[in-house]
Amino acid sequence: MTPDSLFPAALHWTILAASLIVSLVALACVIVLLRRRAPVPTFTASTPDAAPILREGEKNGRSPDEAFMQWSPDMLRQILASELPNTELIVVSNREPYVHEHGADGIELKVPASGLVSALEPITRTCAGTWIAHGGGSADRETSDRNDHVMVPPDAPAYTLRRVWLSEEEYKGYYLGFANEGLWPLCHIAFTRPQFRAADWECYQAVNRKFADAVVEEAKTKRPIVLVQDYHFALLPRLIRERLPDAIIITFWHIPWPNSEVFSVCPWREQILDGLLGSSILGFHIQLHCNNFVESVDRFLESRVDREGAAISYGGRTTLVHSYPISIEWPEERVRSETVAQARRRIFKRYDLSPDVKLAVGVERLDYTKGILDRFHALDEFFHQHSDWIGRLVFLQIAAPSRGTLPAYQALYQECLDLVAEINERYGSDGYQPIVLVPEHHDHEELADLFRAADVCVVSSLHDGMNLVAKEFVAARDDEAGVLVLSAFAGASRELLEALIVNPFDATGMGEVFFQALTMPVEEQTMRMRRLREVVRSNNVYRWAGSMLLDAARLRQREQFRDLGGSSAPWAVSRPVEENVIRLRA
Ligand code: F6P
């Protein structure tokens, strides 16, 4: 039989017509889909280097599985109960979560302005652990018991706060000196020269030993999980390891880690690396900081670096070096009773703002790494280029006093006052001040109100580990409006891709981004804010802690197999966190 006899001419035409219809329908579908995925312009011309940001953003919690996964306190409790049964949790940080101070009306309770505290507090509350921290409040001693313990939060006690007392000399040398005049500027590369003094280093070592004593005293078992927080305690992991060899020590470095050339100027670089490698897991916010750390170890210590497995073998032990982007509580326990419009009315009334101005806000500790002066310079450029905005924009800068006895911080405060006065003089008029500077601490509720009242939030850090203000702004905007302007040098820029990303060192560029933010159509704001909220919701603080605890659990299991005579690669711990959770839920 010939093909012709099998397919008569009429059938040929029918098949041809059907294929044509199918192709046209497919083409129409593709066009509709492409239109629906209207591109969101994520990067501005001033974005220094968009590509690495995009890559990391895509890696951070954007798997399809996660759309269905809500990390919660319950999930964290479940991880602890099933993966790390009977394991006690000890958190160590310099800053305490609750400070008692003598005030005009007796003893007052304060929650410090600290990203570390806002991230760790819900975790410790959930896990009912022990939190060891410096008791720095003027009424801390009299509110602690004879074991230096106090149950917190005071209105609903959930965990023990163990306070460690420091002498004036220790506080000056360890906290103000080595931590904040040495390591802080060293790691932030904010062009403030680090100061390294042998006397500060002595204090730093002594205080690290003091906290090691406190950990050993508080540990009720030989194998606790100890969460060591931040650059105040680089030596602590090793000191704990020597005395509790079976502990799982998870150290989280909340600030950036510089490249090895910058790090090399620290006179005690080897001791710091050695101290940190006492950890089982060492976490940073972003991969770049992990890479910088690994490069520093490779350069200054005799060690074996397994780049593929993200592990360092040193002195017979292995430390995993992973990135865990820190975040905020979501869902928040506090329920909002007010609408955005009510919050806006209240804030405008409090600061005596005319109802028709646009409001931009900046909220941070008064710190030279935050780029406060730089955003004021950008504002100057903005008013210069867009003079029709004079009188129509107010920038409200909340700057919580911080480390105020250090010369660099005093100088910054004075420079801020001078620059604000100069700009207000240049563009202000009767009843109108373009910049309102409020150098005061604000509590969480007040800040949430401010975020809800604002048209634009500016985070222009010169360098920042993560920056939780950016995430708090997004979380506060349940109306899906408002624009986030975010520094490319804050770790948060790796996840919050729909923010307007800026280079804070480029005042003219940042001024133009202010214009873009202030004139952004509501539909675009919504499109961006909706996506940002998805990211913060799925990458919440329970995911941050849960990922580390799951890695710790895997590490402990691996050690058990090794004790039974098996062997496994160090990186066997690092399977995708979602996989672990799905297994847990099954
Ligand atoms: O970024 C490091 C950090 O410890 C943050 O977690 C916190 O917001 C800030 O520094 C607070 O610093 P301090 O405890 O010195 O006030």
Share of the chain above pLDDT 90, in %: 75
Report the alpha-carbon distance of residue 159 to residue 162 in Å, rounded.
Answer: 10
Q: Is the pLDDT of residue 24 over 60?
A: no
For ligand 1, whether the C-beta of 465 sits within 6 Å is yes
* Cα distance between residue 441 and residue 420, in whole Å: 19
Smallest CA separation from ligand 1 atom 8, residue: 114
User: Residue 36 — pLDDT band, cuts 50, 70, 90?
Assistant: very low
Q: What is the mean pLDDT of residues 179-208?
A: 97
Q: How far does the centroid of ligand 1 lie from the alpha carbon of residue 148, in Å?
A: 23
Cα 402 to ligand 1 centroid, rounded to whole Å: 9
Model confidence at 430, pLDDT cuts 50, 70, 90, reads: very high
For 506, other C-beta atoms within 10 Å of its C-beta total 18
What is the mean pLDDT of the segment spanning 316-327? 96
Q: Which atom of ligand 1 is nearest to the CA of 112?
A: 16
Q: How confident is the model at residue 586 (pLDDT cuts 50, 70, 90)?
A: very low
402 lines ligand 1 (CB under 6 A): yes
Sign of the dihedral through C-alpha 277, 278, 283, 284: negative
User: What's the confidence (pLDDT) of residue 59?
Assistant: 47
For 138-189, write each residue's pLDDT tens digit.
Answer: 999 999 999 999 999 999 999 999 999 999 999 999 999 999 999 999 999 8
Per-residue pLDDT reduced to its tens digit, 42-89 = 333 333 343 344 435 444 444 444 444 688 888 888 888 899 888 899
The mean of the pLDDT values for the chain is 88
Q: What is the pLDDT of residue 566?
A: 59
Beta pairing class for 225-229 and 99-103: unpaired
% the chain with pLDDT above 70: 84
The pLDDT of 23-34, averaged and rounded, is 45
Residue 555 is predicted with a pLDDT of 86
Residues with Cβ within 8 Å of 517's Cβ and at least 6 positions away in sequence, in order, are 360, 455, 456, 483, 485, 500
Count how many Cα atoms sit within 13 Å of the Cα of residue 307 in the half-sphere of its side chain.
6
Ligand 1 in reach of 491 Cβ (< 6 A)? no
Residues facing 322 on adjacent strands: 283
- Residue 254 in contact with ligand 1 by CB distance below 6 A: yes
Nearest CA to ligand 1 atom 7: 114
Contacts of 83 (CB under 8 A, 6+ apart): 549, 550, 553, 580, 584
Average pLDDT for residues 232-255, to the nearest whole number? 98
Instruction: Give the span between the Cα atoms of 285 and 547, in whole angstroms.
Output: 12
Residue 576 has pLDDT above 70, yes or no: no
Quote the ligand 1 centre to 296 CA distance (angstroms).
Answer: 23
d(CA 405, CA 410): 7
Position 130 confidence tier, pLDDT thresholds 50, 70, 90:
very high
Give me ligand 1 centre to Cα 353, in Å. Answer: 31
Mean pLDDT of 277-296: 98
| pLDDT number for residue 334 | 63
Residue 17's pLDDT is 59
Residue 244 has pLDDT above 60, yes or no: yes
- Residue 23: pLDDT band (50, 70, 90) is low
pLDDT given at position 176: 98
Ordered by where they begin, the domains of the chain are 64-327+545-585 (3.40.50.2000), 340-538 (3.40.50.2000)
Does residue 255 have its Cβ closer than 6 Å to ligand 1?
yes
pLDDT value at residue 178: 98
For ligand 1, atom 4, name the residue with the nearest CA: 116
Question: Bigger pLDDT: 189 or 5?
Answer: 189
Number of DSSP helices (H) and strands (E) in the chain, helices first: 21, 18
115 lines ligand 1 (CB under 6 A): yes
Residue 79 CA to ligand 1 centre (angstroms):
28
Distance from the alpha carbon of residue 93 to the mean position of ligand 1, in angstroms = 10
Amino acid type, 565: G
Residue 338's pLDDT band (cuts 50, 70, 90)? confident
Q: Is the CB of 457 under 6 A from ligand 1?
A: no
Among 95, 166, 363, 366, say which to mutate for ligand 1: greatest number of ligand atoms within 8 Å of CB. Answer: 95
Nearest of 227, 231, 216 to residue 281 by alpha carbon: 227
User: Minimal CA–CA distance to 51: which of 509, 538, 488, 467?
Assistant: 488
Point out the ligand 1 atom lying closest to the alpha carbon of residue 179: 15
Q: Does residue 21 surpass a pLDDT of 70? A: no
Residue in this structure with the two tokens 């950016």, named with its chain if needed: 470
Residue nearest to atom 14 of ligand 1 (CA): 95
Tokens for 474?
A: 């997004």
User: Does 232 contact ligand 1 (Cβ within 6 A)?
Assistant: no
Q: Is the pLDDT of residue 33 over 70?
A: no
Q: What's residue 37's pLDDT?
A: 36
How many angstroms separate the alpha carbon of residue 175 from the centre of ligand 1? 11
Pocket test for ligand 1, best of 114, 253, 364 (most atoms within 8 A of CB): 114
Going from the Cα of 163 to the center of ligand 1, the distance in angstroms, rounded, reads: 18
230 lines ligand 1 (CB under 6 A): yes
With the most atoms of ligand 1 within 8 angstroms of its CB, the residue from 91, 231, 254 to mutate is 254
Q: State yes or no: pLDDT of 210 exceeds 60.
A: yes
Please tell me the distance between residue 365's alpha carbon and the centre of ligand 1 in angstroms: 9
Q: Check pLDDT > 50 for residue 29.
A: no
- The pLDDT assigned to 1 comes to 36
**525 CA to middle of ligand 1, Å?**
31
Contact 388, 404 (CB under 8 A): no
554-572 pLDDT, tens digit per residue, is 888 887 777 777 555 555 4
Is the predicted pLDDT of residue 206 greater than 90, yes or no? yes
Both tokens of 370, joined, read 């935050």
pLDDT at res. 293? 98
Q: Could you tell me the distance, in angstroms and rounded to a whole number, from the CA of residue 241 to the centre of ligand 1?
A: 25
The reported pLDDT for the residue numbered 12 is: 57
What pLDDT is stored for residue 14 in this prediction? 58
The angle, 0 to 180 degrees and rounded to 10, between the axes of the packed helices 468-476 and 522-538 is 120
Report the nearest atom of ligand 1 relative to the CA of 468: 8
Q: How far is the CA of 230 from the centre of ligand 1 (A)?
A: 8
What is the pTM (predicted TM-score) of this model?
0.86
Task: For residue 400, report the distance from its CA to the centre of ligand 1, in Å.
Answer: 12
Residue range 491-498: average pLDDT?
Answer: 98
- Between these two residues, 134 and 41, which has the higher pLDDT value? 134
What count of other Cβ atoms lies within 10 Å of the Cβ of residue 583?
12
Check pLDDT > 60 for residue 584: no
Q: What is the pLDDT of residues 516-531, one digit of tens each?
A: 999 999 999 999 999 9
CA of 284 to the centre of ligand 1 (A): 15
